A = this chain, B = another copy of it.
């Protein structure tokens, strides 16, 4: 394993340059205008997998964006790890808030990253974290140190709900056969306090449209008598939550798995500085469900957030229009054992019931995802924990995260395997925001840690003990 780490050290600059090249292709999966770039990115990923020693590399067509697969089979008797990642990225909007162009990566100093960070859309989520696996494989194959079989499945639709992934996995169940799935698409607590994500929130995402009259109206001539869809939509959204932060959709909390007092106590022992949190976000106070701490509000409790809203005149100056339509994108983060389809149905029924007679309401579901919890008493969890302890010098804390990676339950349901969420980003990396970045240290820590995971996982699976001092 020493050879692997030496190889990584010797190829540092190239490993960095290759990631920057990948970040230059704007693979925004949500916007059809970027479809060509998404395809180009898939081909670039395939090329780099081949160069890293993958065999049988394919750019698999889907109804949407392609899925890249490849494998390095060492011995059929050894365990098999399936690496999942995604090469697509979030839209860069609002572009005007970026300090440098989102698809022209630059390395800059930033608080929390002593060696600087790469600023670009996708730097962390997930091109950077996905590419760590490609480079780790390269280091292992070139030094002839591949401890087990490794398969890759890198998709291009994670940011739009992985709509074609389920069909693909079902169709290629045999080829994707494995013992565990390894994903780097989450974060650690800090560069000094490593952690492994053991819980994820699910997601229900809808778009709503409220329509009033058949056209935009003059607010003087009609104002006061005709329903204003913007006022009505504000009323409807406002009524979805109570003053205590509780969501008022009937039966919304029915399936929520209540966390025990002991678990909540342990959770709140994680290092968390509320003053630093508020200072970093420049807010005077937090705002959430009463009776829960910030750590609880963002992990074990469901939420309802308006992700976008628009209608009427939004240009410069004043226009006295009574708009014909108003729109909002609304998402709910879900916790075990809430079912996204059930929640979407409950939302739709309730939201429509809120509409006054003067308007019409349309609810369109976007993608959803099931919540998930990973057990910490498995061989795969132990292997990941030991690998991080080896490179960080500290045992990682198991942590439940607020985000959603819907594919985790997909793997569990179809491939019948557990997923290890061993991410290396930080919560402050501004993924999904302007100025997304990924620490240089984090990138290389990932590349160094991944080979240890394979080594320890293979050892533990065969009943061997792991010696971290070796």
By size class, the interface of chain A is: 35 or more
Beta-carbon nearest neighbor of A207 in chain B:
B318
Query: Once the chains bind, are B220 and A283 in contact (CB under 8 Å)?
Result: no
Query: Once the chains bind, are B307 and A322 in contact (CB under 8 Å)?
Result: yes
**For residues 427 through 445 of chain A, which have their beta carbon under 8 Å from a beta carbon of chain B?**
427, 430-435
- Write out the residue numbers on chain B whose beta carbons fall within 8 Å of the beta carbon of A231: 237-238, 241, 304-306
A31-B315, A306-B312 are known; give 20 further A-B pairs, CB within 8 A.
A30-B315, A97-B216, A201-B220, A205-B318, A213-B283, A219-B331, A220-B333, A220-B402, A223-B305, A225-B297, A228-B306, A230-B237, A230-B306, A231-B306, A234-B235, A287-B359, A308-B321, A310-B311, A313-B329, A318-B367
The answer to whether A216 and B432 touch (CB under 8 A), given A227-B283, A320-B331, is: yes
Query: Once the chains bind, are B315 and A91 in contact (CB under 8 Å)?
Result: yes
The answer to whether A321 and B307 touch (CB under 8 A), given A220-B333, A225-B286, A313-B93, is: yes
Q: How far is it, in angstroms, between the C-alpha of A356 and the C-alpha of B238 when the chains are bound?
A: 14
- Write out the residue numbers on chain B whose beta carbons fall within 8 Å of the beta carbon of A430: 215
Query: Once the chains bind, are B233 and A298 in contact (CB under 8 Å)?
Result: no
- Write out the residue numbers on chain B whose beta carbons fall within 8 Å of the beta carbon of A287: 225-227, 232, 356-359
Select A313's contact among B91, B317, B403, beta carbons within 8 Å: B91
Beta-carbon nearest neighbor of A217 in chain B:
B433
Q: Nearest-CB distance from A206 to chain B (Å)? A: 9
Query: Once the chains bind, are B225 and A294 in contact (CB under 8 Å)?
Result: yes
- Write out the residue numbers on chain B whose beta carbons fall within 8 Å of the beta carbon of A129: none
Q: Nearest-CB distance from A202 to chain B (Å)? A: 10
**For residues 282 through 320 of chain A, which have their beta carbon under 8 Å from a beta carbon of chain B?**
282-289, 294, 297-298, 301-320
- Write out the residue numbers on chain B whose beta carbons fall within 8 Å of the beta carbon of A427: 221
Q: Nearest-CB distance from A64 to chain B (Å)? A: 11
Q: Mark A200-214, 1 if CB is under 8 A from B, else 0.
A: 010101010000111
Beta-carbon nearest neighbor of A300 in chain B:
B224
Q: Among A187, A220, A321, A357, find the residue whose CB has the most chain B CB atoms closer than 10 A.
A: A220
- Write out the residue numbers on chain B whose beta carbons fall within 8 Å of the beta carbon of A308: 230, 311-315, 319, 321, 323
A90 CB-CB contact with B under 8 Å: yes
Select A222's contact among B212, B318, B366, B402, beta carbons within 8 Å: B402
Q: How far is it, in angstroms, between the C-alpha of A314 and the C-alpha of B207 when the chains are bound?
A: 10
- Write out the residue numbers on chain B whose beta carbons fall within 8 Å of the beta carbon of A32: 316
